[in-house]
Structure formats: C-alpha cells, structure tokens
Amino acid sequence: MANFRPFEFIRAAGKLGATSVALAIVLFVISIVEHEREKNFPVYWFICLAALFVAIGAYLAWSAERDKWEEEKAKNQKPLLTIELIAAFFDVSKIQGTQNLQVHIYTYLRVANLRDPCTLIKDGSLTLVVGGVEYTGKGDDVCKSGNWLGHNTKFRLGGEKIGGVLSETFTPVRRLTSDINWEHPLVRGVHRDGIVVFTFQNQMDWEGENPHIMNATHIRLSLTDTFDQRHPITIDSLGIPNGTLKNVHTPISGI
C-alpha cells in the first residue's frame, strides 16, 4: 500500500492530534477487551470516544496541511489588475538641452487590483499607430511633472477650474505610479483613478490631420507592477485631444 502513510498523518496532526489518535486507539482496545470480558460497562461509550478522538486528530492534521497550503498560495499569488482608459491627452515639448521635440500622452486611468497581495505600479508602456507609423513610449514620472491638466474638451472629473484667456479647463489629477504612491499601494477590491504620463522621444507626424487631435489606432497600453507583471489593455482607435500638464501649487484663477 504505497499511499498508506499513517506516520505522515500523525506528524501532520501535531502533538495534540497525535495524542488524540493514540487515545482513540487505547479506547478502542479497551472497548474490545471489555466486550470480551462481558462486562456490564457500556462499551459503546468507549467506541464513541475513540471515534471522537480520531475525528479530532483528522481535523488537526487537515488544518495543519491547509495552513501550509495557504502559506504556499500566499507566497506564489500575484496581483491581477484591471485597467480602464477614461481619457487621454497629448502635449509636445522640447527634449531638455536640445531642439528636438518629444510627445507626451497623458492617460487618465482607472485601475483596480482584483486579488491579493497589494502592489504598486512601477511604470508602463504605450504602443500606438499614428499616421501609419508605430510608436512606443515609456510611462513614468521622470519626463513631465504636474498636478493640473489644462484642456479645451468636455472631459470633467469634478473639481475643475476655469482660467486663461481662452477659458481653458483645468482638471486636478494625481499620479498612479509608485514614486508618488509608495505609501498607498493598490489593495484588493479597491480602484484608484489617476494619470500615467507616456513619453515618446521620436518625432511623431500626423500631417494633414487636425493638429489639435491625434488620431491613433492599434493602441496597446501596459502597466508593470512591483512583481514585474505586465497588465495590458488594447484599444482599436482613439482620438487624443491636445492638453497640457501643469504644476500649480495655488488655486487656479485667471491663468
């Protein structure tokens, strides 16, 4: 009987479980002896107690193995993020120290972690096709800072302010990456809204189209968590309006 492992069962049950099994065996033997001696003592009590101790030992053995399984599961389990793109804006700036232009795409995302453990968003990547050419940008907090997003669209989150000569709308934003949120990881069952800035340092060209709208197709956005897992979403096509990320420390009024 290759699968008959009584010593493993006793070992798994621990001291208390092993004691329960030992008492069950003793009581069972006593019940047999008492039955053979035809004593008037109700033997079934011994049998019931023996069965009870066996059940206790079995439960303790199962519980110990279950604890080990839970610990191993916790060690190997990884977060599972869902990502929803709420809005996206683009901006153009010069690469520091050069006359070359770079494009920033500000993606406003809703991210939720569906399972333990908690995690942070390290960075991301965004690949899209513009004007028939594929571009890939990196998402992080290095290339562009700002806590207000200026735009002339109907996009509203709540808390918007109006400023500037053209009555530009300023939307308050917060970052999703770990540099900003290291004290507030994504926990299971809770979603978080915010932006990830993707920077493209190769020149984009959508000549002949509306210069204030970037029409992109074949969009693949991916976020990387602190377990180095990538969580992707794909979008067939998207019209990305112009917007500007600004770092404003005071309430916006007449900017």
| 229 phi, psi to nearest 5 deg | -90, 140
In angstroms, the CA 157 to CA 109 distance is 12
* Range with lowest mean pLDDT among 64-68, 156-160, 232-236, 243-247: 64-68
Could you tell me if residue 255 is inside a domain?
Answer: no
Clarify whether residues 168 and 133 are in a common domain: yes
Residues 91 and 193 in one domain: yes
Q: What is the reported pLDDT for 89?
A: 95
Residue where a domain stops, chosen among 51, 76, 101: 76
- Edge-first strand listing for the sheet containing 148-151: 161-163, 168-172, 148-151, 243-246
Q: What pLDDT does 200 receive?
A: 92
Q: Among the listed ranges 48-57, 75-84, 176-185, which one has the minimum average pLDDT value?
A: 48-57
pLDDT tens for each residue of 170-207: 998 888 887 667 788 889 888 899 899 999 987 777 66
Q: In the prediction, which pLDDT does 147 show?
A: 84
Mapping DSSP onto H, E and C, the string for 131-162 reads CCEEEEEEEECCCCCCCEEEECCCCCCCCCEE
Per-residue model confidence (pLDDT) at position 255? 45
pLDDT value of position 23: 60
* pLDDT bracket for residue 254 (50, 70, 90): very low
Q: Do 113 and 54 reside in the same domain of the chain?
A: no
Let me know the angle formed at the C-alpha of 193 by 127 and 79, rounded to the nearest 5 degrees. 75
Tell whether 147 and 229 lie within a shared domain.
Answer: yes
For 183-197, the DSSP string reads TS-B-BT-EEEEEEE
Highest mean pLDDT among 11-15, 29-33, 45-49, 151-155: 151-155
Q: Write the single-letter amino acid at 196.
A: V
Question: Into how many domains does the chain fold?
Answer: 2
Residues 132 and 59 in one domain: no
Q: Where a domain ends, among 55, 76, 97?
A: 76
Q: Are residues 123 and 176 in the same domain?
A: yes
**pLDDT in the model for residue 131:** 85
Parent domain of 29: 6-76
In a domain, 253, yes or no: no
Statement to judge: residues 150 and 199 lie in one domain: yes
Label residue 90 by pLDDT band (50, 70, 90). very high
- Tell me: do 69 and 101 sit in the same domain: no
Least confident of 42-46, 54-58, 61-65: 42-46
The model carries a pTM of 0.70
Distances in Å between the alpha carbon of 225 and those of 21, 120, 213?
48, 5, 31
The alpha carbon torsion through 244, 247, 250, 251 (nearest 10 deg) reads 20
Same domain, 231 and 109: yes
Model pLDDT, residue 39:
55
Instruction: Specify whether 65 is located in the same domain as 127.
Output: no
The pLDDT mean for the chain works out to: 79
207 vs 136: which has the higher pLDDT: 136
Q: Alpha-carbon distance 221 to 203, whole Å? A: 20
Contact 152, 173 (CB under 8 A): no
Domain end marker among 49, 76, 103 = 76
- 98 with 146, same domain: the answer is yes
- At 80, the pLDDT band (50, 70, 90 cuts) reads very high
For range 116-134, the mean pLDDT: 91
